[in-house]
Structure 1
Amino acid sequence: MFWEDGELTVKNVLYDYHVRMLKVASGNGIDGGKINKLNVLRDGVSIARYDYGWEVYPDDELDLSVLEEVLREFN
């Protein structure tokens, strides 16, 4: 397992993300993928959080697009 941290800017909005990934895809990962812990923040507030299950899920189109970008990159 390892962590990946980073930032994304979408439409002049800064997002931070923290992703914990397994070396291989797993049933514990998001959609059977490698990410088993995830936190995406906008202005210091979680807009998406996964810890072996969804705790916070985006309800905004822009936030959802950022989550999808992170999943494409790491899952």
Structure 2
Amino acid sequence: MWKEGTIGIPKKDGGYKSVKYWVKHFEEPSEDYGINGGKISKLSLKMDGVWIANYDRGWDIKPTCEEAELALCILLNDFN
């Protein structure tokens, strides 16, 4: 199942950075294709028009910044 949305990542100055996400997840985890053996088989993150992470049954672009790492943690918590 595909999901997409936006995550607000808090900034130190009190504002937020907007991270757009696309996730394909399944009901059952996959040791072969899921992130960390989980249910997410595809994931894309974009911030300020730049791809900051991409996973398509393997990492094409590992998380490139703190915002990407935080968004990934949130999505793993929500979908795994």
Asked if residue 13 in structure 1 is aligned to residue 12 in structure 2, the reply is no
Superposition deviation, residue 61 in structure 1: 2.1
TM-score (normalizing by structure 1): 0.88
Question: What TM-score, normalized by structure 2, do the two folds share?
Answer: 0.83
Q: Kindly report structure 1 stretches of 4+ aligned residues shifted beyond 6 Å.
A: none
| Counterpart AA for 1:3 | W
Residue number in structure 1 paired with 2:70: 65
Give the letter aligned to residue 60 of structure 1: C
Cα deviation for residue 50 of structure 1 reads 0.3
1:22 has 2:26 as partner: yes
Aligned-pair CA distance for 1:62: 2.8
What is the CA distance between 1:42 and its match in structure 2? 0.5
Q: 2:53, 2:64 within 8 Å by CA — same for their partners in 1?
A: no
Structure 1 or 2, whichever has the larger Rg, is 2
Q: What's the counterpart of residue 57 of structure 2?
A: 52
* Number of residue pairs aligned between Structure 1 and Structure 2: 74
Match of residue 33, structure 1, among 35, 38, 45: 38
Identity of aligned residues (%): 38
The match for 1:74 is 79
Which ranges in structure 1 are unaligned for 5 or more consecutive residues? none
Q: CA RMSD in A?
A: 1.1
